[in-house]
Amino acid sequence: MIRPFRMIDAPCLLLQGCPSSRDLVHARPSLGHGSRKLTRTTAACVGISAGIRRKVLGSFEDGSLEALVIVQVRRAASAWEVCGFFSSAQAYNQVDELLLAAAAAAGEAGAERLFLRCATEGPASAPAQRAGFHRAFSEELFTGTLRTTRDTPMHFRSIRNRDMHDVFRLHMATAPFAARPALGLTINEWMAAREPSPGRTREYVCDTEHGVSAWARVDLVSDSVIVEAALHPDFPTLAPMLVEGVARVAGHASPVRWIVPTYQPYIAQALTNLGWRSESMYEVSVKPIAQRVRQPYMTPVQA
């Protein structure tokens, strides 16, 4: 039986246990840290944390938890993400139904799109496709150290509110046509779908006479650093300068995780040339969610 978590489930989980499973999806903070393991305490705490901005559903068999999915809001109620997905071996062939139930719960809360990131061809890939998720694009995770050199860098400055439309246009110019609906075809859709960070986020842009040519985001999460950047496709040869510019503004020599969409191969090549290691590949999928019409009268329809 698939149902939302209830407060009474928390003590039961502590007593009866939960499926021995590792997370089948990867939220932004967990990239490069491996898959977290579901424990009794974690499952109980997750169940209690459900609310308006987070939904937790479980698949129960004879009162025992067999699978668990967690969905939460990104930046606005129209965009949600699967941030946790666990299943026992016995329940694996039924987890697509759990994803469908989670999508319905997110839709009831206003979601129009549900995002999911998993390892390329990993165990969550097939259930996600069966549940109606469509692959939008792939990402490659690099690890390395940000170091400044004598190369002429891009001169980044801190982002301002009025820069957001230019950054949105930069992402639309960078992404292939097939990936744009997932990112957001309007600035409001794009803003809603931006991934949250549990740490401190800093963003930078690089100006040219033609507008914003590059953007960078640096997330400081606990003792680690996550970097993401975009470079206008008209300037692919400037990728080494972009890496240098990010090193200047980030100011970190500790190991860094850099997320590179595969449609920006020039950034991946620049990092490889500097000795960065490719750690893993991920696929980002999106499920469109139909909104229920609550007042069917006077609703416009196409003839």
**How confident is the model over 262-288, as pLDDT tens digits?**
999 999 999 999 999 999 999 999 999
Q: Which of 250, 135, 120, 131 is nearest to 182 (CA)?
A: 135
pLDDT value of residue 223: 72
Residue 139 and residue 281 in contact, taking contact as beta carbons nearer than 8 Å:
yes
- Round to whole Å and give the CA distance between 42 and 39: 5
- Round to whole Å and give the CA distance between 59 and 47: 13
pLDDT value of residue 180: 93
In order of their start, the domains of the chain are 2-132 (3.40.630.30), 140-282 (3.40.630.30)
Q: Which of 86, 44, 96 is nearest to 66 (CA)?
A: 86
pTM of the model: 0.89
How many of the other CB atoms lie within 10 Å of CB of 210? 9
* Residue stretches of the chain with pLDDT short of 50: none
pLDDT value of residue 105: 94
pLDDT value of residue 1: 85
pLDDT value of residue 50: 73
Q: Which of 225, 285, 280, 283 is nearest to 81 (CA)?
A: 285
pLDDT value of residue 13: 64
Residue 96 and residue 117 in contact, taking contact as beta carbons nearer than 8 Å:
no
